[in-house]
Amino acid sequence: MTVALPRLYSFRRCPYAMRARLGLVFAGLQVELREIVLRNKPAQMLAISPKGTVPVLQLPAVGDAPRQVIEESREILEWALQQSDPHGVLKTDVAGAQALIEQNDNEFKHWLDRYKYADRHPEFTQLEYRKKGEVFLQVLDNLLAQNTYLLGAHISMADIGIMPFVRQFAHVDREAFYRLPYPHLQQWLKDWLQHPVFVQIMHKYPPWQLGDELVVFPLAE
């Protein structure tokens, strides 16, 4: 009998969706992947998550209960690692990781969006938005001056949860980013971009359409 997989709606370049995919791979879990196009969201996703943002994880039905839907990337990350944690991610200061991710999502992301789309937010210049975002970058660099990863010698939820957003910030202007005085953060990001798990989650998949064959993510090695 075929075991039903959780179903993940994702978009390759979205940092929230990257966070969820990283969590699933670190947990060693497989899902049915439905890659979407943001300008053409499938009705099947909107039916279970009307907010229309990715990632969305739909768990298999248990008995007569409806299929549970997890709509937030942080919750998907935590759910995945609670199912399986072969790399010991949850052994490193979970409360500290959650606090850093909270700061990332509620403060840094605000300035990141304005830095990336400064033309839509004329209240400040792009440089001013970058400097506001740098407040958090300095926090991260200070942590990485002490350890290989944000909260110690091993990867934590903070590294997984924050890296996609630092990547997005860096890619607004890569030359400017690598001129900034955050050498530990810059090396951390370079190492992440070459990490086999990150390379794996950034594999390109065609957009899902009704009737397509099931796509399993990640593929078994």
The count of structural domains within the chain is 2
Query: Are residue 191 and residue 93 in the same domain, yes or no?
Result: yes
What CATH number does residue 70 fall under?
3.40.30.10
In this predicted structure, what is the pLDDT of residue 1? 43
Interval 133-159: pLDDT, tens: 999 999 999 999 999 999 999 999 999
Query: Same structural domain for residues 14 and 44?
Result: yes
Co-location of 181 and 94 in the same domain: yes
Token pair in block for residue 176? 């400017």
Four-CA torsion 201, 12, 77, 5, nearest 10 degrees: -80
Q: Establish if 220 belongs to a structural domain.
A: no
Q: Shortest CA distance to 78 belongs to which of 7, 158, 167?
A: 158
64 located within any domain? yes
pLDDT of residue 135: 98
Q: What is the pLDDT of residue 202?
A: 97
DSSP the chain: -PPPPPEEEE-TT-HHHHHHHHHHHHHT--EEEEE--GGG--HHHHHH-TT--S-EEEPPP-TTSPPPEE--HHHHHHHHHHH--TT-GGGS-HHHHHHHHHHIIIIIHHHHHHHHTGGG-TTS-HHHHHHHHHHHHHHHHHHHTTSSBTTBSS--HHHHHHHHHHHHHHHHSHHHHTTSS-HHHHHHHHHHHT-HHHHHHT---PPP-TTPPP-EESPP-
Q: Which residues, in sequence order, are bridge partners of residue 196?
A: none
pTM, to two decimals: 0.95
User: Each residue of 63-116: pLDDT tens digit?
Assistant: 766 779 999 999 999 999 999 999 999 999 999 999 999 999 999 999 999 999
> Does 3 score more than 90 pLDDT?
no
**Band of residue 189 on the pLDDT scale cut at 50, 70, 90:** very high
Q: Give residue 127's domain range.
A: 89-195
Domain of 164: which CATH number? 1.20.1050.10
How far is residue 137's CA from residue 175's CA, in Å, rounded to a whole number? 16
The answer on 82 and 96 residing in a single domain is no
The answer to whether residues 113 and 205 belong to one domain is no
